[in-house]
Amino acid sequence: MSVANTLYKRLAPWAVPVLLIAGWQWAAVAGLIGSRILPPPFDVLKAGVTLAQSGELWIHLKISFWRTAIGFAIGGGLGLLLGLITGMSRRGELLLDTSVQMIRNIPPLALIPLVILWFGIDEGAKLFMVAFGTLFPVYINTYHGIKSVDTGLVEMAKSYGLKGWPLFRDVILPGALPSILVGVRFAIGFAWILLIVAETISASSGIGYLAMNAREFLQTDIVVLAILLYALLGKASDVLARQLERIWLRWHPAYQG
């Protein structure tokens, strides 16, 4: 019973994607959708296998992954740092928060012309876009997390002699962590979106480039493959972020049992 139950819980979330793909395959084979519009999933798979065998797929995957990872590390790191400063110091909040909030309200896509002027189609352009988009979700959630740490706990910890680094490490950071991780998950999702935009506009490698290049040669199967890869990569990074929550928030009632 419980084995069947676990199996059900494992498989149920994949039922809808599998059904969709099956329906798609059927519609393509039955001729309801032209292969120029949407090639059958089997053709997409074949294109994927061919690209994987030639090694081309891995090169593009790797470069897209690194762009996201480095861009996120820069943007998320800066967001965390700024959030910690404004969250913990009144002076920092006074000096920085207004500026950060103003920059936050610039849509990242509005920066594209400027970014191309600055960086051309260099790596810098992609990294800048990803970093810019991930900074603010992490910043806001870090700031909010620190502001919402229970003041009763801080008072208690101070009465037990904690101050400075131990107070931060044992009370303030763990108290803010649930909120920070929400920001991280949000930022990771956003990082992929911005990378796609950056890669489709100007790039000579990466999954976005793969898709744009395939479009030129009317290779719809590869275009669809690139789109599916983004979906899988997004899901994979979300799983990773959830794993972090499971490890760091294991004390939280929501993550027990």
For other proteins, the binding residues (CB under 8 A) are: 152-153, 155-157, 159-162, 166, 170-171, 174-175, 177, 251-253, 256
Q: Let me know the angle formed at the C-alpha of 235 by 46 and 134, rounded to the nearest 5 degrees.
A: 125
Cβ of residue 186: shortest distance to other proteins, in angstroms? 22
Residue for token pair 């509005």: 110
Residue (101 or 243) nearer to other proteins, CB: 243
Q: Give the integer Cα–Cα distance in Å for 81 and 160.
A: 27
Residue (157 or 212) nearer to other proteins, CB: 157
Residue (31 or 161) nearer to other proteins, CB: 161
130 closest CA partner among 75, 185, 180: 75
Give Cβ neighbours of residue 83 (< 8 Å, ≥ 6 apart): 138, 139, 140, 141, 142, 143, 145, 146, 180
Cβ of residue 181: shortest distance to other proteins, in angstroms? 13
182 in Cβ contact with 248 (< 8 Å): no
Cβ of residue 151: shortest distance to other proteins, in angstroms? 10
Q: Give the integer Cα–Cα distance in Å for 56 and 39.
A: 21
Cβ of residue 173: shortest distance to other proteins, in angstroms? 9
DSSP 110: G
Packing angle, helices 123-147 and 90-104, rounded to 10: 130
Q: Give the integer Cα–Cα distance in Å for 188 and 76.
A: 9
Residue (70 or 167) nearer to other proteins, CB: 167
Q: What is the largest CA-CA distance in the chain?
A: 75
Residue (92 or 175) nearer to other proteins, CB: 175
Cβ of residue 244: shortest distance to other proteins, in angstroms? 14
Cβ of residue 91: shortest distance to other proteins, in angstroms? 24
Residue (235 or 246) nearer to other proteins, CB: 246
